[in-house]
Structure formats: C-alpha cells, structure tokens
Structure 1
Amino acid sequence: MIETERDKANLREQRDKVNLPDVSVPEPSLNWGAQLPWVGMREIEVPVKVKLPQGAMLIAGRLDLGVSLDRKEARGIHMSRLFRLAMESLPQNELTLSLLSDLATRSLETHAELSTSVKLALKFNLPLAREALKSQGLGWRNYPVLIRFEKRVNAEASLEKALLEVDVLYSSTCPASAALSRQLNEEASLNHFTGDEIRRDELKQWLHSPASLAATPHAQRSRATVRVELAPSEWGRDLAELLASLVNRLEDALGTPVQTLVKREDEQEFARRNAENLMFCEDAARRLMQALEASPEFLSFEGEVAHFESLHPHDAVATFAKS
C-alpha cells in the first residue's frame, strides 16, 4: 500500500526511469581505463542547522561531497544520489560529526557497487557573540569554519577521520619595533628633563603632550588558521559548541583578538593588551601550539599564522604541527 506522497513520487520516478537511458550503468564488456580516487561535487549550496546559545539557526553552507570510483567498467558515479542525501540530511538535523558520519555511510551505501571511500568538506561562517572589552557593548563575529570528514571501507574494517579548521583574526604588535620606539621615547624624555629631579606635575604635563610620544611600534591585523583532528570520542558533541570552544581557546592564547563594538575605554584596553602581548609570528605560533597540546580531544593539529605587515609589502608567516 502506498501511504505517503513521497512514496507516490518515488514510484512515479522509478516508472519514468524505465524509458530513460543511463550511460553510467557499468558494462562488463567495457573498461574505462582507470580507477579514480575522488569524483563528486564541489561548492554545493546547502543550509546547515547550527545550535547556538541564542537558539538553532540555519546558516548558508558550501559542501564538497564525493566518492571513489573503483570499478573500472563503470563510467561514472551517481551524483544526484549524493546531492539528495545532502539535502535530506543537513538542513533538517542539528550539525554534529555523527551526522556527517551518517551522511558518509549513506553515500557509500548508494554506491556500494562502485566505491570504497568517501570524502566531504563543509564550510560556513560560525556567528559568535562578542562582548566589548570594558563597556557594556555587544557585537558579532563570523568565523570561517571548514569541516572535513573521510571514510574508507574494506573487507576487514572501516576507517573514519574528522578534521576541523577555523580562522581567527588578531592584532600583533612587533616586539622589535616596540623596543626601538621605547628607546626614542626615552631619549625624548631625557632631552626634555635636563635636571636631576622631576616634579610629579611636570612629568604628568610632559606625558600628556604630543612631544612625549616620539615613536609608536607598528602593529597589524593577523590571521591564524588552525586544523585539528578530533578524537572519535568527541564526535557526539554539539559541533557549534565544540567549534566555539576551539575559537575561544585560540583567542585566549593570543590575547589580542579583533573586536566588534569599540568605545574609548575598549580601545584603551585593547592598546594595553597589545603592549602586554608583543608578538612575532614565531611567538604566536608557539602560543597556539601550547594551547592545543593541552587539549586531549585533539589527536593531531597543524596551523599557520600570518602577520600582514604594516612595515613591509610582504607577510610574516610561521607554520606549526603535531602529529
């Protein structure tokens, strides 16, 4: 008995297919010459359901989804099957790695006669609320996120791997430039005060004058890109919460993440934090390594920091990894 409209639609589709040619059907008499490690679709537009503290939200995502083509007599894969699975899965269900694992498994099931591995990559911007440093203001940041999931099956076992990638922006003030600026400021003060004693009110008046600031260190917006391999024991966790935790850990390690709403008291606090966290790109990379090494949920990690130099027309870059 046909019970639903979907059952009726599926029956009509199967009936219509009978008279439609399908050039992708494997033909034992043909050999197309080679196996292909990955065939699929890139940049599939699909909304993803992300659970935020403010409630569940549908966010625009882009999905790469494909399988291996292991059967030489098969001309191609069934891309429409993969597309339909993605549309049935991601918009309706809260995003977790278990959900992506299920999508990978079902993708292979629809290609059981053709494929033994599947790879997918899902990217979107994760919106996180950010409080001002000192004032009562609030703003939002969108953090670029990339989730990769791979599954391979053979006669003995199946192997799965999950990777998370996030970008964070921060400010980096050059330690060398800070030292050189400090020296010029010292010289300016010594030239101004020629006596052996300085009155408190004179010092205050001097420090408030433009002449007291002989130089300032250069600083620049910088970016850290971090990729982590997540332990299977963590796959059931809420993915948005896990990603937010990773972002917070990285920003705390750096100390100078970019801000949203900024009033004067916030800008002053940001300047203080920059002075407290002078960083070469090497320093930033080591800070992130230390933070990630203290995280047992990550089996491995790698990353890159890039300081978009205001002094040079090129960037200062450092990479790091732990297998």
Structure 2
Amino acid sequence: MQDVQRGPAEVPIPLDRVGIKGITLPLLVRDRELGRQHTVAEVELSVDLPADFKGTHMSRFVEALESWAGVLDYGAFKVLLVDLKRRLEARNAHLTFRFPYFVRKAAPVSGAMGRMDYECLVSGELVGEAFTLTLGVDVPVMTVCPCSLAIAERGAHSQRAVVRIRCRGEGFVWLEELIGIAERAGSSPVHALLKREDEKYVTEAAFANPVFVEDVARSVAQSLAGHPRVAWYLVEVESHESIHNHSAFAGIEGRKEPSRPG
C-alpha cells in the first residue's frame, strides 16, 4: 500500500512539531495523601518532521498512548517520549498532559470537608537525548487590594486571582507543595465548602492581609527559589479585577545556578 506521508513535500521545509491534540484518556497520578489518584487527561503529542517528508503517521501517536501503562511518573513519561521517537522515526518528541487534580480541604473553623479541583499539567520533551520535564498547576486565591483598603472609609475591593506555577526540578515535587505555596501567597485561599463561621473567618483574615498581584508573584517566587528540589520556575499571577474592566497580572522567571562539587 502506498505510503503517502513518506512521499516528497511540495514545499521542502522542516517542521518543528507535528502531532495530535485534544485526545483524552484516563490517568493515574501520585497523591500525597492517598498514594494515587485517578483522573482524566487531555493530551497533546508531537514530533519534528524532516523537510523531505510530506506528513507524519497520526495513528502512531494513538498507538503509542494505547500501549502506555497510563501511570504518570518521571520514568513512565520518558518511556512514552522514547516510544514516540521510535514509532515516528523522529529526532525530537514533545508531550503534554493537562488534567484536574483533586484535594480534600477542611474549612478553617467548622472543619467541613470540600473537594477542590486544580488545573494541572505535566509537559516534557526529548530533544535528541536531552529530557526535560515541566510540572505546572493553576491555583485560585482571593486578594484584597491594599490601595482600596487604605483609601476607602469602609471596605475594600476583593477578587479572585489565579496563580500559575510552572517548574522544573532536581527531584520529585508534589503538586500539593505547589498548591500550598500559591495559596499562602494570597490574601486567603479559596475553599470548596464554607459554613457561615468559616465565611466570617475567611473575610476577616483576608482583609487583615491585603496584597497586590505583584505581592503574590514575589511571594510565590521567593518560596520556589527556596525550594530544595526546584531548579527553574515561571510564575504568573492574574487578578480578575472586581471593579475594573480588565485583569491585572504580574510574572517572574527564576533559575538556580547548578550546584558545583566541593
């Protein structure tokens, strides 16, 4: 049968990435409290394509996923990238999993339990033999505006902000660690379930801790810079302003110098 994809390209230009996206599959991820957690991931897979090939074989991406164990950890992720390179006869392979991750959280006063969901991702690439893995999480927090609080006779405007963390490590980093770093940087964490006594506590605690979006970004960056297993990080905080017709944001990127042997 004719292999059209391996035929010559009309425009002989190499492509950096060719692949599939929007495919979903069940996924098993590590959970600090329960050991493992079942979730569902949206997956994007791609490889490079030489200039002399017209196209790639899209079915092989799906075949690679079907033969994969479906357990997300460092070793299994790299195995899947190696398999993609082999099946597609590529030099480089790229892979991203986006999935909701659930954490049971107690309300601050009543102790009522609610299940919070956080949008997470694990993204990696195998360029030649160089493997890179990036861990990410988006965390909602509440922020109270310090300026509004200082100038208003009564009250201040508050809003939900999203803390987006992307990091690469020199060892295993729990998603729960990143979530905690983000939540501690806001005026208050966001909860799935609050009773009246909890709402009173959260409101008063948030107003006692007003922060700008810049403050949140700096606080998160400071915590990540001090984390013993984080080598690189990217932080963006977006505040969905309650009294402005725009969002405010702040971002920062940081990298640790590689440790030198003594």
Q: Does 1:284 align with 2:223?
A: no
The 2-side partners of 1:218 and 1:21 are apart by 65
Counterpart check, 1:144 vs 2:119: yes
Does residue 105 in structure 1 map to residue 82 in structure 2? yes
Select which of 230, 246, 251 maps to 1:319. Answer: 251
Corresponding position: 1:68 with 2:68: no
Match status 1:86 vs 2:62? no
| C-alpha distance in structure 2 between counterparts of 1:316 and 1:34, whole Å | 40
**SS of residue in 2 equivalent to 1:273:** helix
Q: Distance between the aligned counterparts of 2:123 and 2:62, measured in 1?
A: 17
Aligned residues: 254
Contact 2:28 2:72 (8 Å CA) reproduced: yes
Higher helix content, 1 or 2: 1
Letter in 2 for 1:124: F
Alignment of 1:290-309 (within 5 A): 290-309=222-241
Deviation of the 1:295 alpha carbon: 1.0
Paired residue secondary structure (2:191):
coil
1:159 paired with 2:134, answer: no
Q: Is the 8 A contact 1:42 1:63 kept in 2?
A: yes
Q: Distance in 2 between matches of 1:126 and 1:51?
A: 10
The answer to whether the 8 A contact 1:253-1:291 is kept is no
| Superposed CA RMSD | 1.9
| Cα distance change of structure 1 residues 26 and 230 upon mapping to structure 2, 3 Å threshold | farther
Cα distance in 1 for residues equivalent to 2:187 and 2:248: 19
Unmatched runs of 5 consecutive residues or more in structure 1: 1-19, 185-214
3-state SS in 2 of match to 1:167: strand
Task: Tell me if 1:48 matches 2:27.
Answer: yes
Kindly indicate whether the alpha-carbon contact (under 8 Å) linking 2:113 and 2:193 is maintained by their aligned counterparts in 1: yes
Match of 1:230 in 2: 169
Give the 3-state SS of the residue equivalent to 1:24 in structure 2. helix
Pick one of 88, 106, 110 that aligns with 1:131.
106
Equivalent AA in structure 1 for residue 109 of structure 2: K
Please give the alpha-carbon distance, in whole angstroms, between the structure 1 residues aligned to 2:52 and 2:218.
51
Please tell me whether residue 58 in structure 1 is matched to residue 35 in structure 2. Answer: no
SS at match of 2:194: coil
Q: CA deviation at 1:258?
A: 0.6
2:86 partner letter = E
- Name the structure with the higher strand share: 2
Which letter maps to 2:223?
Answer: A
Q: Residue 219 of structure 1 corresponds to which residue in structure 2? A: 158
| TM superposition score normalised by structure 2 | 0.90
Between the aligned partners of 1:61 and 1:130, the Cα distance in structure 2 is: 22
Matches within 5 A, 1:164-179: 164-179=135-150
Residue 16 of structure 2 is aligned with which of 14, 20, 37?
A: 37
Report if the CA contact (8 A) 1:308-1:314 is conserved.
Answer: yes
Residue 255 and residue 172 in structure 1: after superposition, are their counterparts in 2 closer, same or farther (change >3 A)? closer
Distance in 2 between residues matched to 1:118 and 1:127, nearest whole Å: 29
Structure 2 counterpart of 1:47, one-letter code: P
Moved more, 130-139 or 42-51: 42-51
Matching residue's letter, 1:58:
H
Checking the alignment, whether the CA contact within 8 Å between 2:93 and 2:125 is kept in structure 1 is: yes
Preserved contact between residue 134 and residue 166 of structure 2 (Cα < 8 Å): yes
Q: CA deviation at 1:263?
A: 1.1
Given residue 195 of structure 2, which amino acid in structure 1 is its aligned partner? K
Query: What's the CA shift for 1:162?
Result: 1.0
Instruction: Give secondary structure in 1 for the equivalent of 2:23.
Output: strand
Q: Residues 133 and 269 of structure 1 are in contact (CA less than 8 Å); yes or no, is this contact kept in structure 2?
A: yes
- CA drift of 1:88 comes to 2.2
| Superposed displacement of residue 136, structure 1 | 2.3
